[in-house]
Structure formats: structure tokens, C-alpha cells
């Protein structure tokens, strides 16, 4: 049962203060806020049934739950791990598409006959790709079943996610810098492939910058 009238604005203002302190996807935050909303309305209704006024009932319920900062802090560690896992999984799932398009554009002809060194010299972002894949794999392991044995902290997971995002930023900038060379060459690459590779890197570049910002914000909220 939910109380109406004067209790509603106070509860919604409190939930707004909690929301601005939470990290994670909109769906995750919405689920947490709905759970808190139901709990606050139930606590308020209980106090109303005992004879408290609407103002006193909602004030007591909010005091019982604690400050918005305290409540958001209680969710911070779990949300940080969820955020790190979701972001790392998105990189690992979309990374092959971006990588293959650039490989088709930048790899020298018959590089497999000349050895891996020819590929590495033509695509300087390859070491960063390996670094990013390693960081992403560690985050997935640290936020999955292996966490019971390796005991990573949320800050470690956020740091690894930030490393993954930074590796993607530098890697995408390196391959985008090769576009003028591709345009001037006579390699005959389809324009659609060049456009797809550039668009994919630009989208991932914006996503990576946002990821670094969210990880920095999340890191300041976690307890360990």
C-alpha cells in the first residue's frame, strides 16, 4: 500500500538524490529505485496505521532508511562489479567486428607468408588489442565464478575496465590516423569497408571516453 499526498514528493525527492549517486545502467538503477520506493511507502503506511501524521510518517521512514549517500554507498560495490562486467563484455563482443574491418584494410598483402612481424608493423594497434583483450578477460573472470577464488575488489575491476577503455581509445586513434594513408593509396579498398571501420572506431571512441568517466565516478563511490 502506498501513501498519497504529502508523502509522495518527499519520497520522490529522496529517491532522486539516491539515483544521482548510483552508477550502472538505467534499468539497473530503476529496479533499485522501485525496490526502495516500495519499501518507503510500506514503512510510511505502517506508521500512518499507528496514528502518525503524513509528515511524521514519511520523515520516520526516510530516517529509518538512512541518507541518500548512505543508501547509494550500500549498492556501490555490487553496481561497480556489474558495470565492469557489462562494459567488458560489450567490448569483447563488439571488438572482433571492429578488428576484422581494420585488419582487412591495413593488413599487407600475403602477410601470412611474410610472418606475423609484417602484420604487427602494419597495424601498430595490435599490441593494444591484446592488452585490452587480457584486461577484459580478467574482468569477466573476476566478476564471475572465479571471483570466489581470486577475491578481486571492485576498485581492481574498475581499474581493469578503465585500462580496457584506455587501450581502445589509443588503438582507435592509431587506426583512424591511418585513414589519410588509405585514401592516398591505390590499394582499391571498398569505400563501404573504410566507412564501416571508421564509423565503428568513432562510436567505440565515444563509448570508451564515457566508460572512463563512469569508471572514475564509480571508483570514488566503492568502499574497497
Q: Both 61 and 116 in a single domain?
A: no
* pLDDT surpasses 70 at 63: yes
**At which of 66, 88, 114 does a domain end?**
66
Q: Both 82 and 12 in a single domain?
A: no
Residue 46 domain-assigned (yes or no): yes
Q: Both 48 and 147 in a single domain?
A: no
CB atoms within 10 A of CB 23: 22
Residue 2 domain-assigned (yes or no): no
Q: Quick one: what percent of the chain has pLDDT higher than 70?
A: 85
Average pLDDT, the chain: 84
Q: Both 59 and 89 in a single domain?
A: no
> 195 by DSSP, 3-state: which?
helix
Residue 71 domain-assigned (yes or no): no
**Contact in structure between 157 and 211 (CB atoms under 8 Å):** no
Q: Both 26 and 106 in a single domain?
A: no
Please give the Cα distance from 20 to 216 (Å, whole number).
15
**Contact in structure between 175 and 106 (CB atoms under 8 Å):** yes
Give the number of domains in the chain: 2
- Phi and psi (nearest 5°) for 198? -65, -45
What is the mean pLDDT of the segment spanning 14-24? Answer: 89
Q: Determine the structural domain holding residue 157 and report its residue range.
A: 76-221
Q: Both 80 and 103 in a single domain?
A: yes
Q: Both 87 and 59 in a single domain?
A: no
Q: Both 62 and 156 in a single domain?
A: no
> DSSP assignment of 157-183, as one string?
HHHHHHHHHHHHHHHHHHHHTTHHHHH
Q: Both 23 and 132 in a single domain?
A: no
Reported as a single tens digit per residue, the pLDDT across 93-145 is: 998 888 888 888 877 666 666 666 666 666 777 788 888 888 888 888 888 77
**CB-based contacts of 110, cutoff 8 Å, min separation 6:** none
Q: Both 61 and 14 in a single domain?
A: yes
Residue 1 domain-assigned (yes or no): no
Q: Both 52 and 81 in a single domain?
A: no
The three-state DSSP-derived secondary structure of 139-154 is HHHHCCCCHHHHCCCH
Reported as a single tens digit per residue, the pLDDT across 140-171 is: 888 877 777 777 788 889 999 999 999 999 99
**Contact in structure between 224 and 153 (CB atoms under 8 Å):** yes
Q: Both 87 and 150 in a single domain?
A: yes
Amino acid at each position: 500500500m502506498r501513501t498519497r499526498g504529502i508523502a509522495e514528493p518527499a519520497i520522490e525527492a529522496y529517491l532522486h538524490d539516491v539515483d544521482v549517486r548510483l552508477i550502472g545502467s538505467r534499468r539497473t538503477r530503476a529496479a533499485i529505485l522501485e525496490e526502495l520506493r516500495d519499501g518507503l511507502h510500506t514503512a510510511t503506511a505502517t506508521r500512518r496505521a499507528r496514528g502518525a501524521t503524513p509528515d511524521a510518517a514519511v520523515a520516520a521512514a526516510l530516517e529509518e532508511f538512512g541518507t541518500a549517500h548512505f543508501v547509494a554507498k550500500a549498492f556501490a560495490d555490487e553496481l561497480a562489479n556489474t558495470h565492469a562486467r557489462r562494459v567488458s563484455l560489450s567490448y569483447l563482443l563488439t571488438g572482433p567486428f571492429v578488428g576484422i574491418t581494420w585488419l582487412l584494410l591495413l593488413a599487407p598483402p600475403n602477410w601470412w607468408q611474410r610472418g606475423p612481424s609484417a602484420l604487427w608493423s602494419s597495424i601498430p594497434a595490435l599490441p593494444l588489442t591484446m592488452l585490452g583483450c587480457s584486461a577484459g578477460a580478467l574482468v569477466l573472470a573476476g566478476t564471475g565464478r572465479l571471483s570466489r577464488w581470486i577475491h578481486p575488489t571492485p576498485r581492481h575491476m574498475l581499474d581493469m575496465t578503465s585500462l580496457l577503455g584506455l587501450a581502445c581509445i589509443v588503438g582507435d586513434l592509431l587506426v583512424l590516423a591511418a585513414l589519410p594513408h588509405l585514401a592516398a593509396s591505390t590499394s582499391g579498398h571498398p569505400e563501404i569497408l573504410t566507412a564501416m571501420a571508421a564509423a565503428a572506431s568513432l562510436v567505440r571512441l565515444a563509448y570508451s571516453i564515457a566508460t572512463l568517466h563512469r569508471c572514475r565516478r564509480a571508483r570514488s563511490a566503492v568502499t574497497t
